[in-house]
Amino acid sequence: MKKLVIALLLSPFFTIGQTVVTVNEKMEAIDGKSRNSLTVMIKDANTDDVKKAWKKKLKDLKGKVSDKTIIFGDDCQAKSMGDNTFDVYSVVEEATDEGVRLVVAFDLGGAYLSTADHPDKYPAAEAIVKGFAVEQAKEAVNVEIAATGKVLKDFEKELSGLEKDKSKLEKDIEDYKKKIEEAKADIEKNVAAQANKKTEIEGLKATIGDLKKKVKSIR
């Protein structure tokens, strides 16, 4: 995940722009039957997450949910769509580069919801689908935010380590400089001590020479 996040952030195609969720109405085949449906693309979402969330949404609408070949919500209710119950036929298609595709057909009891036949109810149904899609699209981004946040923490930890290493190296340099200055002072003392010692040696050599001459002078 860390490498993936870094690759996305460094990609020349990684841009931030406005994302508008659009719900389209058209005939779609759901479980082998063509139904007037509402379709929406949920960008950057995970298929399994969308399926789980959509089933929860149908349960929130008081529906009895089954998930076999399709996701079916039996006897759902929504105040915005009136007092009568309705059935929901839906499919969540596998994610593509464009996102996860959600297809929803509302059975109002003998007729499938459409703008032409149900102009009073269609806006409410569209709001349900769009509201869900917007929520899931935001959740997908929030997942990316969380993943990127973890990478950020790792980077900040690595930076802190680098800063500590730099401070230690700078301290080492100061210690080395101090040791060098001390060594230079010790060298100067050493040179002076050598000079003194050489003088003492030459003096002793001269003394020995004189003593040898004295020995020879004794008869």
pLDDT tens profile 6-48: 555 554 444 555 678 999 999 999 988 999 999 999 999 999 9
Task: State the residue range of the domain holding 20.
Answer: 2-148
In a domain, 82, yes or no: yes
In a domain, 162, yes or no: no
Phi, then psi, of 170 in degrees rounded to 5: -65, -40
CA distance 160 to 154: 10
CA distance 53 to 48: 9
From 73, 45, 43, select the one nearest 60 (Cα to Cα).
Answer: 73
pLDDT at 13: 42
pTM of the full structure:
0.72
In a domain, 171, yes or no: no
In a domain, 160, yes or no: no
In a domain, 45, yes or no: yes
Compute the residue count for the chain. Answer: 219
In a domain, 197, yes or no: no
pLDDT at 67 over 50: yes
Coil vs helix vs strand at 46 = coil
SS3 readout for 100-112? EEEEEEEECCCCE
| Residues 76-100 pLDDT 10s | 999 999 999 999 999 999 888 889 9
Query: What domain count does the chain have?
Result: 1
